[in-house]
Amino acid sequence: MIYQFAQANLVWLIPGLPLLGFLFHAFLGKRMGKSVVGGIATAVVFASFAISVYVLMGLMSHPEELRRAQVSLLPGSDLTPWIEIGAFKVNYGALIDPLSMLMCLIITGVGGLIHLYAVGYMAQDKDFSRFFTYLNLFIFFMLTLVLGDNLLLMFVGWEGVGLCSYLLISFWFEDTENSKAGNKAFIVNRIGDVGFALGVMAVFATFGTLTYHTPQGSGFLDLAAKGIAPAIATAIGLLLFVGACGKSAQFPLHVWLPDAMAGPTPVSALIHAATMVTAGVVMITRVSPIIVQSPIAMTVIAVVGLFTAVFAATIALTQNDIKKVLAYSTVSQLGFMFLGCGVGAFSAGMFHVTTHAFFKALLFLGAGSVIHALSGEQDMRKMGGLAKRIPITYWTMVIGWLAICGVPPFAGFWSKDEILGLASGAPSWGVVYYVVGLATAVMTAFYMTRLMYKTFWTKQRFVEAGHDAHGHGDHADTEPDAGHGHGHGVHESPPKMWIPLAVLAVLSAIGGLIGTPWANKFEHFLEPSIAKHEAHHLFAPNIGLLIGVFAAAAGILLGRALYSKKMETGELLTAEEKAKNPLYQGSANLWYIDGWAYRTFVIWGGGFATAVWQWIDKILIDGMVNAVAAVIGFTSELFRRVQTGYIRAYAMSMLVGVVLVVAGLLLGSLGKH
């Protein structure tokens, strides 16, 4: 299986170059001009991309069964041990296989484009070099996460990207709201990290090693492939999945992701859409040989993924902040990916990771361009009519919209269809997975259409910044992005920003064609990295495709039907109508409203979505996070009182300790003999 090849000697450069970029910015960044900093930061990531392509070509030139190599992550060809204690050894090693190379391409490719975009987006920021310092460091840790040949290196990357995410969310730290968001992200992620750490411990306790694969077949995945007890597979799978839930924002650990939108928009695109949040999917896919041996873990993953998908899509229906819509959409799409993993369609899940990286990065960057054009405005109620004002952004957003809605032949269509198709054939619950998944797809198409209407197609609802003072200073307190834009009239973004949009638009348009059901090159490509698992469709692929088209069309047409009549305001309901809805406000009589059939849907549906967000997200889960913090704080305060400062009290408690220890020892021995 394991094969050494010439190109692999360059692997160390893939994470090495961003690390060099980080060191350069950290030590010299402040003294350099913005063009040098931005240029170097972007160049190192693109150089990593070029090397990744080169290495991948080397890998692909070998027959399929040899496409896996364990090489050093340090310069020089021999594997260097990182930790060596007794028989236990982990290396600074990289596992080069289709999965890790795919992720390298996404991270460096999409990451490079986002770096380029950020050079334009952050041009006015006073902490320009600090921003790129963190961004390069993030790329380094992310590459470590996917490239490492053992779980411990993955853990290093895992914590590292979490730290960078924390620093970048809080980047505009003058804003307390952002700081709180950064804090929350960190706390929630710790819960996931404990799960991951315990999962690593369980792997170690079971197999005695943390290396995935070795040439001798002694890696834990090699051993697991020979068969392990289902109970052990379940324990490891579930613990690691808790970790994945934290990083990949699955219910109920998803609460941090929408809050994380407080960070600069390129950060949202890079970390909170394209790369870091997919780390959980990558990890579950990586350990797929263990996961497939536990039906329980598989079911849990599928159900949590599916629930998250539909839950987050529901919330996305009524959000008004353009980035929040995209954030909940990301949570929802991640749920789809886990659904794929849970039914054994790991390569379909990874396919969706890939296409999602294209179109969601595109949508976020497009949203950033809109926010940029409006000098920091994020509220869609204050947008509208932008289609003609910022045409490049608009047209690229249209492609992103078609891709996420699942319109053929755009990228999202193929990957979503693949997941749904394979979910339908799951041994139990297959039909439920399929129907709920399909409903989620309809909702997705609807809320994205809503976003397009509110932003681009309805009448302009904002006041030009040039005409009065509105738009910049007024929102400085409330809008996270305010004060970081240019502060003059609506304008198209500079080339540095729209070129990445255009490239991502092309990828979103045609990127899915590598994985059509008739010739699934993508699945074939990933085969060497993934455990064999029987997953099949309930019905012929072509019928699935057709249903998928209908679902997308249904969502889009529903959006069109509702919003084309509200071109003036972009609001489906007036304030009074909302006032009548029990779920919005408390009481209503639906029958007063004309056109009751779809109005019922709108009022109840919208009210339901708002209620889900208000009650479950804001009150229940946030409340739980806060309650845990409060209980810890309270207990801490309580026990601080014991620390009275009186020496004699301390001596007394020592004596109590003495009595307990000695009595415990004596009684313990009585009990035994």
Partner 1 sequence: MPDKSVIIGDMQAILPMIVLWVTASVIALGDVSLWKRGNKAINPLLAIVGVLVAFKFLVNTPRVASGATAFAKSLAIDPLGQISGIALLVTAVLSILLAWTYLKNRGLDHAEYYVLLLLSLTGAMMMASANDLIVLFLGLEILSFGLYVMAGFARTEERSEEASVKYFLLGAFGSAFLLYGIALVYGATQSTNLEQIRATLSSSSGAPGPMLLAGIGLLIVGLGFKAAIVPFHQWTPDVYEGAPTAATAYMAGAAKIGAFAAMLRVFGALTPVAASWLPAIQILAIVTMVFGNLLAVTQTNVKRLLAYSSIAHAGYLLVAIAALPSETVNGIASNAPDLAVGGALFYLFAYVFMTLGAFGVLVYLSSKGRDVQHVNDLRGLAKREPAAAYAMMFFMLSLGGIPPTMGFMGKWQIFYAAVTGQQIMLAIVMALTSAMAVYYYLRVVWVMCFEETTEAAAPEPVARTGAMAAIMLAAAATIVFGIAPNLLNAITGMGP
Partner 2 sequence: MTANLTHYLALSAALFGIGLYGVLARRNAIAVLMGIELMLNAANINFLAFWRFLAPNSVEPQVYVLVVLTVAAAEAAVGLAVVLNVYRSFGTVNLDEIARLKG
Amino acid found at 187? I
In terms of phi and psi (left: phi > 0; alpha: psi -120 to 50; beta: otherwise), the region of 595 is left
Per partner kind, with CB cut-offs from 5 to 8 A, the member of partner 2, partner 1, none near residue 664 is partner 1
Q: What is the dihedral angle through the alpha carbons of 380, 512, 421, 253, rounded to the nearest 10 degrees? A: -50
Residue 489 has a CB neighbour count (10 Å cut-off) of 14
Compute the least distance from the CB of residue 472 to partner 1, in Å: 23
Q: Which is nearer to partner 1, 576 or 637 (CB)?
A: 637
Taking residues 399 to 428 in sequence order and writing x for each that binds partner 1 by CB under 8 A, - otherwise, the string is ------------------------------
Taking residues 192 to 231 in sequence order and writing x for each that binds partner 1 by CB under 8 A, - otherwise, the string is -xx--xx--x--xx--------------------------
* Contact status, residue 102 vs residue 109, Cβ threshold 8 Å: no
Compute the least distance from the CB of residue 649 to partner 2, in Å: 9
Q: Please state at what angle helix 295-316 crosses helix 230-247, rounded to 10 degrees.
A: 20
- Helix, strand, coil: what percent of the chain each, to 5? 70, 5, 25
Compute the least distance from the CB of residue 123 to partner 2, in Å: 49
- Closest by CA to 277, choosing from 298, 260, 300, 252, is 260
Q: What count of Cα atoms within 13 Å lies in the side-chain half-sphere of residue 578?
A: 12
State how far the Cα of 582 lies from the Cα of 177, in Å rounded to an integer: 30
Site residue total, partner 2 (CB under 8 A)? 10
Q: Which is nearer to partner 1, 102 or 147 (CB)?
A: 147
Taking residues 595 to 634 in sequence order and writing x for each that binds partner 2 by CB under 8 A, - otherwise, the string is ----------------------------------------
State how far the Cα of 453 lies from the Cα of 447, in Å rounded to an integer: 10
- Closest by CA to 346, choosing from 447, 428, 404, 418, is 418
* Contact status, residue 92 vs residue 72, Cβ threshold 8 Å: yes
Residue 401 has a CB neighbour count (10 Å cut-off) of 24
Per partner kind, with CB cut-offs from 5 to 8 A, the member of partner 2, partner 1, none near residue 204 is partner 1
Compute the least distance from the CB of residue 646 to partner 2, in Å: 5
Site residue total, partner 1 (CB under 8 A)? 62
Q: Which is nearer to partner 1, 59 or 202 (CB)?
A: 202
Whether residue 409 is preceded by a cis peptide bond, meaning omega within 30 degrees of 0, is yes
Q: Does 662 bind partner 1 (CB under 8 A)?
A: yes
Compute the least distance from the CB of residue 139 to partner 1, in Å: 16
With 0-12 / 13-18 / 19 or more C-beta atoms within 10 angstroms meaning exposed / middle / buried, residue 672 is exposed
State how far the Cα of 552 lies from the Cα of 489, in Å rounded to an integer: 36
Per partner kind, with CB cut-offs from 5 to 8 A, the member of partner 1, partner 2, none near residue 543 is none
**Taking CB under 8 A as the criterion, which residues in 70-109 touch partner 1?**
81-88
Taking residues 634 to 653 in sequence order and writing x for each that binds partner 2 by CB under 8 A, - otherwise, the string is ------x--xxxxxx--xx-
Span of 184-192, 292-300, 570-578, 592-600 interacting with partner 1 by CB under 8 A: 184-192
Per partner kind, with CB cut-offs from 5 to 8 A, the member of partner 2, partner 1, none near residue 187 is partner 1
- Closest by CA to 503, choosing from 369, 360, 396, is 396
* Residues near partner 2, by CB under 8 A: 640, 643-648, 651-652, 655
* Residues near partner 1, by CB under 8 A: 81-88, 152, 155-156, 159-160, 163, 166-167, 170, 173-174, 179, 182-183, 186-187, 190-191, 193-194, 197-198, 201, 204-205, 632-633, 635-637, 639-640, 642-643, 645, 647, 649-651, 653-654, 656-658, 660-662, 664-666, 668-669, 672-673
